[in-house]
Structure 1
C-alpha cells in the first residue's frame, strides 16, 4: 500500500495520505525505517510516503467513512485535521477558501477504514438538497457524509450559535431524506441516528471561554444526543480522542454494529502532552 501526493481537482484540493495504526505483533513494516521513526519522526509529516504494510488481521476488509468537518471561520478546523494526520500545527492563520479532502486510513479492531475527511470552508447553511449541494463547490459531498464533526471556538459564542444552526439543519435534512425513502430509523427532533460530534476547540484558551464546559456538554449530550469533546490542536490535546469518539459513534450506529470497542494503536497512539 502506498501514499500519493495531493492533487488539485477543480476547486477541490485532494490529498491522499496514509496514516495507519501499527500493531507490532501483526503488522510487518516493509521499509528501512523503524516503528519509532514512523511514529515520532518527520516521515509522518511527509504523508508516510511509500510505506508498505501488511496485516494478517485485516482479513481483506476495508471500510470507507466520509467525515465532514464544519465550523465558523477561524475555529481551527484545519488545524485539528492536520494535527491528527501530520502531527503538525501552524501558528499562522490561513482561511480555508475551498473544500479540501484528506484521505488517511486507520485500523479499528482488525478492520481498516479509509477515511475521507472533508475540510469544509465556512458555509451559510447546510445544503438542503442535492442540487444545492452541487451548485456550491464548497458543499460537494457534505450531504452524503457518513458523519459530522462540528467545531466551535470555546472563546466565541457566535461560533457555537453557528454549530447549533448547522446541527439542526443536518437533523432536518436527514429526516426529510429518510422520509422520502420511507426510512423510519431517524426519530423526529433527534440526531441519534446521525453520527455528529461537537468539538470545542482552543482548550488552551479556556480562561477566556464564554461559558462553563458543563453547560455546553449537558446541552450537546442530553438535548442534542451528540458526542462532545474539547481539544487543543496547538498542544495536540484530545485530537486523537475526538476522532476515536466519532468513529465509535459511527460504528455503534450502523457502520459495523458488531464492534463494541475501538482500538487505535501504534502510529495513532495518543501523543503525551500537558493536561489542561
Structure 2
C-alpha cells in the first residue's frame, strides 16, 4: 500500500454533475438546487476492494476556461491537476453533446501537456460535431492516460421515442469513440438516483491497482534522486 494518497481529478463542463456524483457517493447526499463550483474542493477518503486499501484524494474542479479568462486560482488548480493527478474522471451530460466536446478537448490538453511538453493550453480550434469525432482519430491517443469517462444524467433522457433514440444512438457512438481514442470505458450513471455509482467506483478501484503501483515507483525514484543529490553535497572529512 502506498503511503501517499492517490489523487483523482474530477473534470467536466458546468452543470454536468461533478459535485453531485462526489457527494452522492461519499455522503449519500443529493441537492436538487444547482450551485456552480467556482473553487476546487478536496475530499480525502479510502477505498477497499476486498484485498487492498487505497487512500485517495478527490479533487472537485470548476470548469477550466480558456487562458484569456482564467483567474490565478483556477490556473493553479488546472496546472496542479494536469501535473499531479493520477486518475481522471471526465464527466459529461449525456443529453448535451457540447459537454462531451469539452472533455475531449480537456483530454487532448492533458496529453499534450504531460507527454509533448507543450504549454500552449487551449489553443482555439473549431468545435467538432459528433460525426467528425467518431470518424477522426485522436493523434494523441497513443499515450496512455488513466481515465474513466462518466456519462451522467441518464435519468433526463427524453421519454419521447423520437428524441430518446437519437440520444441513445449518440451515447453508443460516444462509447465507441472513448474506447478507441481514450482507451477507456464509459460509465453511464445518474447522480440523482445513485444509479451505477457503485459500478463507477468499482471501475475506479480496478484502475487504482495499476495506478498505485505507478505512484509507489515514482515515490521510490524521487527518494533515490534526493539521496543522490544529497550525496553530491556530502564531503568526507
> Do these two structures clear the TM 0.5 threshold for a shared fold by scoring above it?
yes
Q: Structure 1 residue 232: deviation in Å?
A: 0.1
Aligned residue in 2 for 1:136: 75
Aligned residues: 183
Aligned residue in 2 for 1:217: 175
What TM-score does the superposition give when structure 1 sets the normalisation length?
A: 0.60
Q: What is the RMSD computed on CA atoms of the aligned residues? A: 2.6
Aligned residue in 1 for 2:148: 197
Q: Please identify which structure carries the higher helix content.
A: 2
CA distance in 2, matches of 1:149, 1:245: 11
Unaligned ranges ≥5, structure 1: 1-59, 127-131, 178-187, 258-276
User: RCO (CA 8 Å, sep 6+): is it higher in 1 or 2?
Assistant: 2
Aligned residue in 1 for 2:213: 256
What TM-score does the superposition give when structure 2 sets the normalisation length?
A: 0.69
Q: Structure 1 residue 62: deviation in Å?
A: 4.8
CA distance in 1, matches of 2:93, 2:52: 33
Q: Structure 1 residue 75: deviation in Å?
A: 0.4
Aligned residue in 2 for 1:108: 49
Q: Structure 1 residue 242: deviation in Å?
A: 1.3
Q: Structure 1 residue 220: deviation in Å?
A: 0.4
Q: 2:110 aligns with which of 170, 187, 211?
A: 170
Decide whether the 8 Å contact of 2:54 with 2:208 is kept in 1: no
Q: Structure 1 residue 138: deviation in Å?
A: 3.7
Query: Residues 64-107 of structure 1: CA distance to partner in whole angstroms, max 9, x if unpaired?
Result: 21000011000000000001100111101011010100111111
Aligned residue in 1 for 2:86: 146
- Radius of gyration: which is bigger? 2
Q: Please identify which structure carries the higher strand content.
A: 1
Instruction: For 1:1-276, list aligned pairs within 5 A.
Output: 62=3, 64-124=5-65, 136-139=75-78, 141-143=80-82, 144-176=84-116, 189-190=140-141, 193-207=144-158, 210=167, 212=169, 213-252=171-210, 254-256=211-213
Q: Relative to structure 1, is the Cα distance of residues 195 and 250 closer, same or farther in structure 2, using a 3 angstrom cutoff?
A: farther
